[in-house]
Amino acid sequence: MVWLGVVLVVAGAVPVLTVDGDLGGVDATVAGAVVLAAGAILLVAGILRLRGRRRGGAPGTAARAYYRTPTGKVVAMVIAVVYIVSPIDLIPDVFLPFGIVDDATALTWLLFALGQEYTRRSRADRRTPS
C-alpha cells in the first residue's frame, strides 16, 4: 500500500506541476490532483500501519518478536507526506527550481525512512522463531 501510494503521489505531481490543458476532455491538472490525493491517502494509511500491533502466540506460548516503528518517526513521515502534497511550502513552487527541491528533499527522506523501516521489519521477522 505504501509503495503504490508513493507511485501515485509522484504520478499525480507530474501533471499538476508540468501539464497545462486538457487530456481527452479532462483537465490534466485536476486529474493529477485527484491522483495525488489518492496516493497521499494510501501513503498515510500505509505509514500508519507501520505502527504495528502486538502479535501474540497461542495461549500458553511465548509471544512472537516483532519490530514496531516508533511513534515519532510515524508522525514525521505523515508530516512529510502532508508537506509534499500541500500547496503551502517553505519555498513556493513558482520559484523554480528551488520550490521543487524542497518537496523533492522531503520525498527523498520519506523514501529513505520507509526503506529503513521495511529493512528493520524484515530483519525482525527473520529473527522470529517459527
List, run by run, the mean pLDDT of 10-residue segments along the chain (130 residues).
86 81 79 89 88 58 64 91 85 77 89 89 68
Whether the link from the prior residue into 59 is cis, omega within 30° of 0, is no
Name 69's Cβ contacts closer than 8 Å, sequence gap at least 6.
50, 51, 52, 117, 121
Q: What is the pLDDT of residue 69?
A: 82
For Cα atoms 59, 65, 70, give the angle at the middle one, nearest 5 degrees. 125
Q: What is the pLDDT of residue 31?
A: 86
Task: Report the alpha-carbon distance of residue 124 to residue 28 in Å, rounded.
Answer: 43
24: left (phi over 0), alpha (psi -120 to 50) or beta: left
Name 52's Cβ contacts closer than 8 Å, sequence gap at least 6.
66, 67, 68, 69
Q: What is the pLDDT of residue 112?
A: 94
Q: What is the pLDDT of residue 12?
A: 86
Task: Report the alpha-carbon distance of residue 43 to residue 35 in Å, rounded.
Answer: 12
- Whole-model pTM: value is 0.75
Q: What is the pLDDT of residue 56?
A: 54
Q: What is the pLDDT of residue 50?
A: 80
